[in-house]
Chain A
């Protein structure tokens, strides 16, 4: 058991190191001079002031030192939780900007991913049982999974937002309101949350439903199902076993899909101008805010790694075969 997790953790640690390194490399080895760009955009006309600014940024990046020192100090600041100062929202620290955006992304992602997974599995299991349902769920599921996030989001925004006017199509809350813990503000938050959530939920739903349906049909044809049926076990028991066993690959699927889901959430945020990490990335790119971009990427990488690790843990708990495999690795 310990060895299994040791191996897993090692893989995650390596992934993290690679991600940090790539993140460090991007602004340094990108074509163009980010410092010159920033100074130019700041529109400072006096040469002396421009020179001071250039010196400041160069110092910030540590561009005047040898590369290995830059790399080492990048890790140093990172481990202290220091992502630098945002250029776009100067002088707010990047970590503050990110922490303001994270709740929005989480509030969108977590329910959309979990609910679509749960609902999709239920729906798929039902479809595997009833022909009528199967004939509707299956094509609908294929349409939903084949739809790009962008499209579905735009269609929903247009249909339910612009035409029907039921939901606002942009922002995390109304501009007229100040964030506060009042019922009015929370309702407004919820109101803005519905459309981006729905678009994420719907797109993911179809894939889970199809996966579950196919897995259940496969499980129902397995040997243990035939054996139980030959001993006269009721269909209820056989379906319960099949459902549980079919869930296992779906959990693996969740781990594999996590990256895609995160990317989908980022795009959705941009479409709906939802103030989460996705919008932050867009703003950072538009404003050439490298610190913010780096910080956001780091945060997403850490988030995906943590989520993957949680799924690993869950899998070990629910599938005895992985535990048996671990015992084998130990002996």
Chain B
């Protein structure tokens, strides 16, 4: 087992109280697996991704554990977590376009970053990796402003995976790109996994169709909780949770010409996470809801590797 997350709870401290952005999420990611993480905006995808590598100042680890390769990650302890960052867990952030220091040549920045972590730069390896994503080695002598958005994205992918981390978190890395570049980036990421540069991956996106292409498993979240997790094919062909079914129905032909389709078109909106209602959080919008749904549905395994949180399956 590469990654095991158990009952993870993370909240944001705000002036109005605690926003419970992750409210008891459990799942596993196996060695070599790409987990696609999907769900509506605000369901907690970024929060989950950040929880695995670095909580920002307003986030609080409220409970649960994260285990990577048998060792528990001290996610609530910023200092202790440093030992794992970059080497064991790494990140391609949502903001890759602006993730590089604008006033340093890229090669120099990478060298300084590695030195600060007590690693030496293997220039040949770096150049090979750049070649694998179609970048000439000259980019190392350039400033970030001299690269296109897609190039910066690929540079960040290469930098983040330079120490061959066990787990890579890729957050919305395709959202800012056009459709053909999206697929190239997604393929490059899968290529990194195939080449063993990263062991497993959490691939966060709005785009269920794109996820279905590169992920082995898809996990759909709803309002800070897991709704359904299943192998990619199963998720697209036989979704069980009412929410996932609506998502997939809104997506005419997965994998065909509608690849760019986003998750839209379900009436209503998810509940506020500041003081969430008890019971199933999808109740307000669910066509199958009844009185039994006033209690929180447990996550059950309906088939091997297929988990659903709903009373009606």
Contact = CB atoms under 8 A, between A and B. Distances in A.
A187 interface: no
Contacts of B170: none
B14 interface: no
Contact of B100 (A224, A234, A248): A224
A138 B21 CA distance: 36
B306 interface: no
Interface string B73-84: 000000001111
Interface stretch (A117-125, A189-197, A237-245): A237-245
B53 interface: yes
A236 interface: yes
Contacts of A241: 101, 103-104
Given A224-B98, A224-B99, A321-B103, A230 B143 contact: no
Contacts, number: 75
Contacts of B281: none
Nearest to A236: B116
Contact of A231 (B91, B104, B105, B146): B91
A249 to B, nearest CB: 12
B103 A230 contact: no
A320 B143 CA distance: 7
B39 interface: no
A142 B313 CA distance: 65
A33 interface: no
A240 B185 CA distance: 32
A236 B103 CA distance: 17
A230 B102 contact: no
Interface size class of B (residues with CB under 8 A): 20 to 34
Contacts of A222: 98
Interface residues of A, number: 23
Interface string A190-231: 000000000000000000000000000000001110111111
B90 interface: yes
A51 interface: no
A237 B103 contact: no
Chain A CB count within 10 A is highest, among B86, B102, B159, for B102
A324 B98 contact: no
Given A227-B93, A241-B104, A320-B145, A234 B116 contact: yes
Interface of A: 222-224, 226-234, 236-237, 241, 244-245, 248, 318-321, 324
Given A230-B91, A231-B85, A324-B146, 8 more contacts: A227-B95, A229-B54, A230-B54, A232-B85, A241-B103, A245-B101, A245-B102, A321-B103
